[in-house]
Structure 1
C-alpha cells in the first residue's frame, strides 16, 4: 500500500472516529490498518426484538430506502434542470447583448445611408453617373470614373452590411425566443422535481416519526447490519484482490476535500460549503482539484470515463443503483466518502454497501 494513499485514509478514518461513524465499511478498515470502529451494541437482553417486529421493521427499512432513492432521483432531475436553466439564462444574456449591439450597428448604417442620400440631394439630385456624363473636362471624367466605381462599391457594401445586420437581428431574436421557451420548460421541470423531492422526503420522515424510540434504534441496527453484509459479500468476491491503483495529485486533492466535509449535513440540491447532496460533494471535491465535472450523478455516469471496479483508485467516483441516482468518492481500501441522504451527515461507508452500477474517473492522469 502506497504511503501517500495510506495517509489519506488514516486521516479520513481519524476524522470520522471523532464525529461518529454512521455507516462503517466493515473489513475495509482492517485492510487499511486503521482502528476498527466500535462494534454496535448488542440488543438489550431485557427487551429482545421478536421475529415479527424485525420483519415489520425490515419492511419499513425497505420502504424508507425506496422513498429516499426516489427522492435522490428527483434531486438529480432538479439539479439537472437547475444547471440547464443557468446555461440558458447565460445564453439569453449573451443574445440580448448581441441584439443590442446589432441595433446600434443598424442605426449607424441607417445614418450613413441617410448621409449619402442628403449628399446626393445637395448635388442637385443627380446620381454620380449622370454628373460624370455631363462633364466637359476629360481629366475630370477619368478621375470621376474611379470615384463613381468607389462610390458604387461603398454603396453596395453599405446595402449588403445592412441586410446582414437585419438578418442577424432576426436570427438573434428567434434564438432568444427559443431559449426563453427552453428556460421556462426547465423552470417547470425544476418546480416539478422540487415538489417530488419534498413529497418523498416528507413521506419518509412521516414514516420514521411513527416509530417508537426502541424501533428507531433497532431500525438503525438493521440498516448497519445490511450495509455490513453487503460490504462483506462484496469483498468476499475478491474484487479488490491485488488492487493497488495510485491516486493522482488531483485525485489526492479531491479525496482531501471530500473527507474534510465529513460531519456536515446532507441537503438536497446543495453544493456546499455548509451542506451537500451526493453529487454536490463529488463535483465540488473535483472542482477543488481544478477539474470541472458534471453536477449530477447521472451525468457523471454518462460523461466521465468508465473504469473497471477492479482498477479503481482514490479519487474515482463510484456510481450506485440502476438509475445512477447516488455517487460516492472512492478513498481507497474498499471505502468511499459520501453524502448519504436527508437526515444524515457526510460520512465514510463501504464501497460495496450499496448496489454498484459502475466506476468513473474524472481525471486521465
Structure 2
C-alpha cells in the first residue's frame, strides 16, 4: 500500500507516463520516503571480507575526493568564464562609447575653429572706434550683441571640448582596467581548467587500473553508500513534514530535467547532449521560463532560500559546505542530477549527500 500511495503522489505531481516511470525507478532504488518499511530500507554495506574489499573502499573514497575537487574547480572555472564574458562585453561597450565621443570631439573642434575664425575677422578695431565710424549706431550695437553671443558660444564649445576630453581620458583608463581584469580572469580560468583536468585525469587513471569486476563492485559500492546515507536521512524524519506541490513552472523544469536521464556528465557542459550538475538545473529552469545563475554556488547565493520542511518539487537542493553540487527535487525524497564524470544524469536520494540547503528558482526574494 505504501508503494501505491507514493506512486500516486508522484503521478499527481507530474502526470502520465513520466510520473509512472519515475515512481517505478524510485521504488526499485528504495528512494521513496515517509512510509518506507524495514524491508525497503537500503542494506548497509557488507563488512569487507578481505583486504581487497577494504582497498576498493579506499579507492572509492579517493576517486570521490578527486571528483569533488574537480567539481569545486568547475565552479571556479564557470565563475571565471562569466567574468571573462562580462569584461569582454564592457570593453566592446567602452569602445563604442569612445568612437562616438571622438566623433563629437571632431564636430566640436570644427565648430570652435569656425567661431575663432569669425572672431578674428571681426577683430582689429577697438569697439569705441567702430562706434564713431559707424554711420548707424543702432546697427553697431546690434552687431556688438551678436559678437557677445559669439564669444559666449565659443566659451560653451571650449567647455564642451574640455569635458569631452576628460570623459575620453576616463574611458581610456576604464578600458585599460578592463583589459587588465580580463587577462586576470583568463588566467584564473586557465588555472581552474588545469586543476579540473588534473583531478579528473587522476580519478580516471585510478579507476582504469581496476579490473572489470572491480569496476562493477566499485559502482555497486557507490550506490550502496548512497542508499545507506539516504536511509539515514529518511530515518531522521526529515521528509515527514514535506508536503509541497510543484508549481506549473516547476513541473516544466522537472519534465525537462528528467527527460535528460541517461545523458553523460561532462564538466562545464550545459546541454543539449551533456551536462554538469548546474548546467542541468540551468537548462531545466530556462525551459520553464526562468533564468537562474550558471553555477551551483551562485544559485545558492542568489536564489531565494527556503527551509527544508517547505521544499517542493522543482526546488534545487544544494550540497556540501562549499555549495559545489546541485540537484532538482522531484518529490518523495528523490532528486534528479548529473553526478560526476563517468556517470550519467540519474535519479537518486535527496539525502544521499550532505545537504547545505534548498533554493527556489520561482520563489520571491525577501529581505
- The corresponding residue for 2:337 is 338
> Could you tell me which residue of structure 2 aligns to residue 364 of structure 1?
363
What is the aligned partner in structure 2 of residue 250 from structure 1? 249
TM-superposed deviation, 1:274: 1.2
Larger deviation: 127-136 or 344-353? Answer: 127-136
Kindly state the Cα deviation for residue 138 of structure 1 after the two structures are TM-superposed: 2.7
Q: Corresponding residue for 1:11?
A: 18
Question: What SS is found at the alignment partner of 2:328?
Answer: strand
The aligned counterpart of 1:28 is 32
Q: Given that residues 88 and 182 in structure 1 are in contact (C-alpha distance below 8 angstroms), is that contact kept between their aligned partners in structure 2? A: yes
Alpha-carbon displacement from aligned partner over 1:182-241 (angstroms, at most 9, x marks no partner): 110010000000000000000000110111111111111111110111111101111111
Q: Check 1:56–1:273 CA distance in 2 against 1; reply closer, same or farther (3 A cut).
A: same
TM-score (norm 2): 0.87
Mapping of 1:1-365 within 5 angstroms?
Answer: 5-7=12-14, 11=18, 14=21, 26-28=30-32, 50-123=49-122, 135-364=134-363
Aligned partners of 1:16 and 1:262 also within 8 Å? no
2:313 touches 2:329 (CA, 8 Å); kept in 1?
Answer: yes
Question: 1:60, CA displacement in angstroms?
Answer: 0.7
Deviation readout 1:76-120 (Å, 9 max, x if unpaired): 010000011001100000000001111111111111111122223
Distance 2:116 2:27 in 1: 81
Structure 1 segments, 4+ long, off by >6 Å, are: 1-4, 21-24, 29-32, 126-130
Q: Which runs of 5+ in 1 are unaligned?
A: none
TM-align CA RMSD: 3.0
CA, structure 1 residues 115+204, in 2 after alignment: closer, same or farther (shift >3 Å)? Answer: same
Moved more, 69-78 or 295-304: 295-304
CA–CA distance in structure 2, aligned partners of residues 170 and 237 of structure 1:
63
- Give the drift of 1:129: 9.9
Change over 3 Å in CA distance of 1:24–1:135 after alignment to 2: farther
- 1:117-172 CA distances to partner (integer Å, 9 max, x unpaired)? 22234445569998678645232134234323422332222111111111111111
> Closer, same or farther in 2 for the Cα pair 1:71/1:127, shift >3 Å?
farther
1:44-75 per-position Cα deviation (integer Å, ceiling 9, x unaligned): xxxx9733222111111110110000000000
Task: Determine the C-alpha separation between the residues in 2 that align with 1:115 and 1:90.
Answer: 38
- Taking a change above 3 Å as real, the CA distance of residues 235 and 15 of structure 1, as seen in their structure-2 partners, is closer
* 1:262-309 residue CA offsets vs partner (Å, 9 max, x unmatched): 111111011111111111111121122222211111111111111111
